[in-house]
Amino acid sequence: SQQGEEDPQALSIQEGENATMNCSYKTSINNLQWYRQNSGRGLVHLILIRSNEREKHSGRLRVTLDTSKKSSSLLITASRAADTASYFCATETSGSRLTFGEGTQLTVNP
Amino acid sequence: GAVVSQHPSWVICKSGTSVKIECRSLDFQATTMFWYRQFPKQSLMLMATSNEGSKATYEQGVEKDKFLINHASLTLSTLTVTSAHPEDSSFYICSALGLAGFGQYFGPGTRLTVT
């Protein structure tokens, strides 16, 4: 069963604004990853944060991980219309198995 | 970067027929590949873990006799949907495990429509 939950399920913002998505999970993890998926397309790996890390940056992306609360957040700064997509968190456990969250549909309006 | 391909990218088949989907790692060897299924507007669900040279490990609730997985080489895993039915219509995505700590590389997906 899916163990990841994301909120919000849908987020609509204006270009230039920041977008924050949250992810919660239930079990111990090796790492947590964020992926992006454009409609009907494959996944694009955005960032991986290990269980012993608390924050990571990559370009306009900032990811935090709180293992005590079993939660993570993805912040996209200065959003662009091209950022419109679905965003999924995925937790990696033993055997490199990934369990995906329900996803957040982000719409960035020009 | 590492590239994973899937073939076909989309397929339409009639109910009762079987469909084979290929997943290839193009520039690296992958001893482990994963198969996911994604229904419209839903998340990805792991179906099975495919290990080169051994039997696949299926997730709970996934019928191994219906979804046949073969990982005969270090660069190729195949998923065969046997006796497909309309409820099997979905987006099937594979991934290949890269070097330790670098996560999985995902294929572009295969859209299966069963009529």
pLDDT of residue B27: 85
* Pairwise CB contact (< 8 Å): B32 & A2: no
pLDDT tens over chain B, length 115 residues: 678 999 999 999 999 999 999 999 998 888 899 999 999 889 999 999 998 888 999 999 999 999 999 988 889 999 999 999 999 999 999 999 876 656 788 999 999 999 9
- Residue A93 CB neighbour total at 10 angstroms: 15
Contacts of B107 in chain A (CB under 8 A): 42
* Pairwise CB contact (< 8 Å): B108 & A33: no
Would the pLDDT of A3 be above 80?
no
Task: Report CA-CA distances (Å) from B102 to A50, A66, B7, B35, B65.
Answer: 11, 21, 24, 18, 32
Chain B residues 51-90 within an 8 A CB cutoff of chain A: none
* Pairwise CB contact (< 8 Å): B106 & A101: no
Contacts of A97 in chain B (CB under 8 A): 34, 46, 49
* Pairwise CB contact (< 8 Å): B43 & A40: no
pLDDT of residue A1: 31
* Pairwise CB contact (< 8 Å): A100 & B97: no
Residue-wise pLDDT for A7-40, tens only, equals: 889 999 999 999 999 999 999 999 999 999 998 8
Residue A65's DSSP bridge partners are A72
Q: How many Cα atoms within 13 Å fall on the side-chain side of residue B54?
A: 9
Give the per-residue SS3 of A56-109: EEECCEEEEEECCCCEEEEEECCCCHHHCEEEEEEEECHHHCEEECCCEEEEEE
Please give the DSSP secondary-structure letter assigned to residue B59. P
Q: What value, to the nearest 5°, has the Cα angle with vertex A36 and ends A34 and A42?
A: 120
